[in-house]
Structure 1
C-alpha cells in the first residue's frame, strides 16, 4: 500500500499574504487525498547530520539563527522564514528520508511526501525560490550513503528547473538528475549543455505554451531511455504540479491527465529497474484546484502501481 508521509508542521511555515507558496497549498492537497486508502505516516524531523549530506554547517546555522520568534523575515525576495519554518523544513527532509527507508526495507512499495516548503531550488549554501533545504538531493544521498545503493535517479517535473538539486548532485556520479522545465523561465538554468561532472544530469527544456503531447514525446524520446540505461536502484520524484495550464507562475499547458500518464510511466520504469521502489516529494503547484486534482491523480497512479 502506498504511504502518505506528512506532518502538521507543514502548516506552520507561514509566508506573507499574497505569496504563492502558502499554507493553503498543503491544506487543499491533503483534503484531496483524504478519501484515499493510504498508509499514513508522520514525517520525522531530519537530523543535522542529514542536512550535512548536502549543506555546510554555516548554512544550516544561518537558517536556524534567522528563524524568527514571531512574524516573517525574508531570506531573499521570494523565500521567507516564520517561527514554524525550521521544523517544517526539517519535516520535509525527514519525511523524504523516512520514505527512502520504508521503500528500501520493503515496508511499502512507494511513498508520496506531502510536505512544504519545497526544496529543489536550494543550492549548497543558497536558499531561493521558496526553498530552504534540498529535500530530494538529501534523500538521494541518504539512500547512497546510508543504504549503500550504487545508483539513484531523481526525476523533477516541476515547471521550474531544479537548479538546487542539480547543484547539490553535480559531482555525484552515483546519481542521475533529470529535469523537465519551461524555458525560458526563472531561474534561467537548465540548458541541455548542463550535463554534470560525470554526465549525470539530463535537462529537457520545454517551450512556453507547449502542452502534454509535447511533454510525452520528450519523455519518450529522451528521459525514459536514459532512465532505463541508468537502471536506478531507487527512483525519487520531485513532483511539482505547476506545469498545469491553470498555474499562475508559468506557461505550460499540461492537464491532470498528463501528470497521471507521466506518473504511470515512471512507475513502470521503477517496476522494471528497482522493484517499484519510488519516493515522490512535493515541490511546486500554485493553483489550488489544479494542485489538488493533479496531486490526487499522481497519488492514485502510485497506488495502482503498488497493488
Structure 2
C-alpha cells in the first residue's frame, strides 16, 4: 500500500491514512516504531505491507504494519528509507571485500550458584575464505581460561566437554590472540559473525587479558542482522535454521565453534547467491 499520511498518534504508535473517505489507522510494533516512527508525520509518503493480524488498543482495532518498503518526505523531498536500495547497498558492500573470516566462540557458563561471573572464550573456531570461494584456512581449538582450573558443570554439560581433555589440549589465550592478529594483518578480512555475542566475547577478552584491541566495530558483519533487515524478520533466526532453509537439509548442531564457523560460511555463501 502506498499512501500519504494524514496524521499520527505518537502514544499509540499509530499513523492514519484517508482511504475511501474514511480515516484508517495503522499500528507499528515496538521494533518498527523504534526504527521508523521518527520519520512519520503528516504529509509523508509511506509504502508498506500490512500484516494479517490487527492490534486492539482500547475500543479500536488497527491494522498492523508488517514492514515498510519506502518512507519519503515530499516537502522537501527526502528518502528516509528504501528497502530495495538498502538491499542493493547490502549487495555492494558484501561484494566489495575479497576476504572474509567467519568466527565463532564458545564461552564459559556460570555455575548454578555463582553470583559473580565473567564469561570467557574457551573454544575458538574460524574459517578464512574468499567470498563464495575456496577455504584458505580453518582451525578450531580449546582456549584455556585465565585463572580457573575447573569448568562449571553447566559449561561441561552444555558443550559436552571432557575436562581432562580440555585442559590437556587447550591453548593459552596468547596463542589465540597471536593467530588472530596474524590473519588480520595478512588478509585484512571482514569478520563475519552470527549475532552480537561473539563480538562482545572478543572485546571482553581483550580487556580480561590486558591486550591491545585488534578489531573495531566496523570490522564485523553481523550476518543475523543482515538476514533480519533483508527479509524483514520480526524475530531472531537461528543459524542452523537458516542453513536448513537454504540447503533443505539439517546440519547436526554439536556446539562446536569450528563447525559453527563453517556453517556461518555456508549460510553467507547462500545469502550472497540469493541476493544476485
TM-score tier after normalising by the smaller chain length: under 0.3
Q: Which has the larger radius of gyration?
A: 2
Structure number with greater CO (CA < 8 Å, separation at least 6) is 1
| Bigger proportion of residues as strand | 2
**Length-normalised TM-score, structure 1:** 0.25
